[in-house]
Amino acid sequence: MNKNRTFFISLIFLATITACVLPGLSSTPPTPIFAPTVDTGLIETRVAGTVSAAIAQTERAQPTATATFPATPTPTPTPASTETPTPQANPSQSTLTQQTDGSTLFADERAGYEITIPAEWLSVRVDGQEYLDAFSLEEAANANIQQSLLSIQNENPNIFRLLALDTQAAHIQNEFVTDMRFISDETKNIDLTSDADLQAIAEKVPASATPFRFEVTSAKIITSASGIPFGVIEAESSFTSPTGADVPIYQKQVFFNGKSGTQSITFTTLVDLKETLLPAFDAMLETIKIGAK
């Protein structure tokens, strides 16, 4: 009995740390457990520097006056590169590889699976070079994107495996950024032969989710087209927009077992964007390959 209780509490911790940062609010993260290979102080210092540089670059790019210049010759277009993208490896034993169609292949060797992130999503690992580079991207000029990136800077990269942000301007509404958070718990394996474990997690979601309260709308076991069993919990909540309106949000958590422990992917978006973005998330789940190297 004690072993089962410990198991469920640990899985609820997965659900808790996947909560998004509310617009206009900053959540206080739990005391982080740092990986021995990561110098978090250095990361924070470099993040602060890259944020400042990005802001300064944005300010310099703003037009200051109207002027007339002589016509400049149109440069000859450079042919698109046909080279195979180089995977970006990092100490937490995973790689990110840009695909020719704009999607990103995330191969988590430590967790034992791979998945293809759709195009138009910015994917970063907290201990990866791409995380620091993200602050100098054009998308990071948006304060809400910056807030989403900074919200994970103290996470343990051995647990918090990946953050994916929908950076499309049209999808950032009421200062809310849709995201996907990939979490790994190497100490546990969820039982997907019945829904008992999943229902136990679902019962604790309203009390564990922060900084707002989610209400579970469904919890069930499904099987992908490739035969992978998933535990799926759907929930809804809301927040007050800067204009005082009530904005409903939707969350879908998916649990599965990898080579080492239970993996979860949490997708959180506005209810108004659910019909637009959820099909791409569900299609992404069909790209999961367990045991990939």
pLDDT given at position 48: 52
Domain range enclosing 227: 2-22+38-55+84-290
- What CA–CA distances, in Å, run from 45 to 56, 77, 88, 136? 17, 38, 22, 15
Q: How many domains does the chain have?
A: 1
pLDDT given at position 123: 97
| 79 domain-assigned | no
| 229 domain-assigned | yes
CATH number (domain holding residue 89): 3.40.1000.10
User: Is the CB of residue 163 less than 8 Å from the CB of residue 148?
Assistant: yes
Q: Which residues pair with 162 in a beta bridge?
A: 182
pLDDT given at position 87: 80
| 146 domain-assigned | yes
Q: Find, among 124, 85, 86, the residue nearest to 101 by Cα.
A: 85
d(CA 236, CA 252): 9
Q: Find, among 193, 278, 185, the residue nearest to 231 by Cα.
A: 193
d(CA 45, CA 67): 39
pLDDT given at position 4: 46
| 284 domain-assigned | yes
| 31 domain-assigned | no
| 97 domain-assigned | yes
| 224 domain-assigned | yes
Per-residue pLDDT in tens (0 to 9) along the chain, 293 residues = 444 444 444 444 444 444 455 554 444 333 333 333 344 444 445 445 545 544 444 344 333 333 333 444 444 444 444 445 678 877 889 999 999 999 999 999 999 999 999 999 999 999 999 999 999 999 999 999 999 999 999 999 999 999 999 999 999 999 999 999 999 999 999 999 999 999 999 998 987 756 678 999 999 999 999 999 999 999 999 999 988 999 999 999 999 999 889 999 999 999 999 999 999 999 999 999 998 65
| 70 domain-assigned | no
